[in-house]
Amino acid sequence: MKKLILPFLIVVVGIAVYLSLRGGESGGANVDQLPVAEVQSGDLVIDVLEGGNIQALNYLEIRNEVRENSGVKILEIIDEGYMVTEEDVENGKILVRLDTSGLEEEIVDHDVQFQQTEATYAEAKQNIEIEESEALSDIKAERQLLRFALLDFEKFVGAEAASDTLKRLRLPYDTDTLLAYEKEATDLIVKSFDSTKLAESLKEDREINPFELEAESSLASNVNFGEFLEDELLGDGEAEQTIRRMRDEALVAASQFAVQQESVEGAKRLHQKDFITRQTLDNEMVSLDKAKLALQRSETELDLFRDYEFPKEAEKMLSRYEEALLSLIRTKREKMAKMSQIVARYRSAKRRYDLELKKRKNLEEQLASCTIRAELPGLVAYGGAKDNYYTSRYYEGIASGATLKVGQPIITIPDMSKLGVEVNIHESHIKKIELGQKAYITAESVPDRTLIGKISKVAVLPDSNASRYNPSLKVYPATVEIEGTHEFLKPGMSAKVEIIVKELEEATFVPVQSVFVENDDHFVFRKTGNGYERQSVTVGDHNNDFIEVVEGLAQGEEVFLKMPDDYEPPQVEIADRSQRQRLKEKEAEDKEAERTAAKELAKQQKAGKNA
C-alpha cells in the first residue's frame, strides 16, 4: 500500500508547485482590458427577484351555469371596467343577460315527463297505504280465526284437557303463548326477506321436483283421544256434556225397559186369568219391544260417540287449530312478500320522482342564472381571476353575442381592499422562500412607488401549466400580499417583486460573475501587479448581483469579472479508480488505528489513576 501512495503524493506535490508558479504568472496585456471589480464590505441583502401580475386576493367570480351542449349566447353584458356601486347592488343592477330560449323549450318538454312521473309516484304511495290496510285486515281476520279455533277445541274437550294436549304437542295454548309464537314466526319471516342472506342461500339451492315433496303429518293425528275417556282426562266441555246426556238417555231407556218388562209380566198373568184380552197383551208386548229398541239405540249412540264421533271431532278441531296457526303465518308471509313488491315499486317511483324533481329544480336554477345581477361592489373584469394562456385558448372571448361553455368564467369583481402579486418562484430559489418573508413590490406602470408586502402562500408542487409550455421549466406559484390599500393599483398590472431572504451585516462580497467553479472549487482571478492570480475562495449566500466571500479575499482587493484568455485549468491525473479507492481505504484504516490508540491511552491513564 505504501508503494502505491508514494507515486501519487509525488504527482500531487508537483501539481501544487506548478499551480503556485502559474499563479504568479502575469498575463500582461492580455488582462489590461478585462473588467475589474473591487471587493466590497458592508451590509448585503440576499433577495430573490421575480416578476408577476397584481391580483385581488378576494374576488367574486361569476361563471356560466347553463348546461347546454351547444353553449349559451350572451345577449347583454356590462362594459368591462364598470365600477359597481353599493346602489347598484341594492337595486339589483343586471350585469349579464344570457339567451334563455333553449332552456325554456327544455323545461316545457320536461314538464310532461315530470307530471307522469309525479302521478306514478303518487299512485305507488297510495298503493302502499291500501295494501298495508288490506294486509292488516287479513292478518286480523286470521288471528281471530286462530283464537276461535283454540276456543272451539277448548270448548269441545275442556280447557284443562286442551291445555295439556297442546303443551304436549308444544303448541300455543293461551293468549300469551300465541303472541310469543306469532312474534317468533314474524322474526323468522323478516329474516327470510333479508336480500343478502337470500342471495347466499340461492347459491346452495337445487332444482326441486314437486312430486318429491311430502306433506308433513298433522300433529292432531298423533294424539290418541280414546285415552281421554279411558283415563277420565276429558274436561267439562261439550264432549263431556254430550256423553252425559247420552248416558242419561240410556239410563232412562233402561228404566223404561225395566218398567215395561214388569208391565208385560203383569199383563201375562192377567191374560191367563182372562182379566185382559189378547189384544191388550200384544200391545204391552209391542211397548216392551219399543223400550228395548230405545235402550239399544241409546247404548249404541253412546258407544258410537265414545269410539268414533268424539275422536273424530276432537282431531278435526285440533287440526283446524293447527291449520289456523299455519294460515296466520302463511298470510303474514304472503302479505309481507306483496308489501315488499309494492314498496320496491314505490322506491323505484320515488327515485325516479326525486331525479326528475332535481332535474326540474336544476333547470329552474339554470334559467335563473341567465340573469346575473350585481351582488358585490367593485370593478368589473371580463373572464376569470385565474385566466391564463391555456384557458384563453379553450374559451371564446367574452363579448355580446359570444357563446359560453359550461363553467366558463364570465366576469370577475375583485375586492380592491386586499391585493397581492402572483409570482412563479424558480426551483433554484424555492428552498429560500418561506411564509411571512418580507417583500418589496414595484408596479411597472408606477415605477417610482415601492410597496411593502409579505409571502402569504407558497405552492408545494410546481405549476403544471408552466411545465406544459416548457417541460424543463419548474416553477412554484407563490402569493405576495400587499400591505394597505392603493388606488393606483389595478388587477392585471405587471409588477416586480423583491423577496428579502436574508440581510447580512458587515459582509465581504463581490459580483457574482467574478466567481468561477472547477471541480466544486470556487475561485476568483485577483488582480496583481504582474497580471492576475488564481485565488480559491469560500462563498456564502448570494443574490442576483453579489455573492458573499467568507474566506480568500479582503476589502479593497480587485478581481476580474471575466476569465483571462491565457488561463489553463489544472489537470490532475490519478492512475485509476481502484487507486483512489485504496487511498480512501488507507485513510479509513489510519483513522481507525488512531481511535484504537486513543482508547488504549485512555485506559492506561485510567489504570494509572486507580493505582
Give the 3-state DSSP-derived string for 223-280, with helices as H, strands as E and coil as C: CCCHHHHHCCCCCCCHHHHHHHHHHHHHHHHHHHHHHHHHHHHHHHHHHHCCCCCHHH
Give which of 285, 299, 288 is closest to 257, Cα–Cα. Answer: 288
Domain with CATH 2.40.30.170 in the chain: 36-58+415-564
Q: How far is the C-alpha of 272 from the C-alpha of 285, rounded, in Å? A: 15
Phi and psi at residue 563, in whole multiples of 5°? -75, 130
Q: What mean pLDDT do residues 92-120 have?
A: 90
Q: How far is the C-alpha of 57 from the C-alpha of 382, rounded, in Å? A: 17
55 by DSSP, 3-state: which?
A: strand
Residue 288 pLDDT greater than 90, yes or no: no
- Least reliable range by pLDDT among 180-194, 204-218, 459-473, 590-604: 204-218
Q: In what order do the strands lie in the sheet with 409-414?
A: 59-63, 409-414, 381-382
Q: How far is the C-alpha of 552 from the C-alpha of 535, rounded, in Å? A: 7
Residue 329 pLDDT greater than 80, yes or no: yes
Q: Angle, nearest 10°, between helix axes 175-192 and 195-204?
A: 70
Q: What mean pLDDT do residues 597-602 have?
A: 63
Q: For 482-533, what is each residue's pLDDT tens digit?
A: 998 888 888 888 999 989 888 888 889 999 999 998 888 899 999 888 888 8
What 8-state DSSP symbol labels residue 512? G
Domain with CATH 2.40.50 in the chain: 64-98+371-414
Q: How far is the C-alpha of 150 from the C-alpha of 169, rounded, in Å? A: 14
Cα dist. 574→4, 10, 250, 583, 586 in Å? 12, 11, 142, 11, 16
Q: Label residue 582 by pLDDT band (50, 70, 90).
A: low
Q: For 516-527, what is each residue's pLDDT tens digit?
A: 988 888 999 998
The helix (H) or strand (E) run that includes residue 59 is strand 59-63
pLDDT at residue number 221: 75
Task: Round to the nearest angstrom and report the end-to-end CA distance of the chain.
Answer: 41
Give which of 158, 151, 301, 305 is closest to 233, Cα–Cα. Answer: 158
Retrieve residue 485's grid coordinates.
390599500
126 by DSSP, 3-state: which?
A: helix
Does the domain at 36-58+415-564 match CATH 2.40.30.170? Answer given as yes
Torsion angle, alpha carbons of 186, 191, 194, 197, to 10 = -160
Q: For 365-418, what is each residue's pLDDT tens digit?
A: 999 999 999 988 888 888 876 665 445 556 778 888 888 888 889 998 888 888
| CATH of segment(s) 64-98+371-414 | 2.40.50
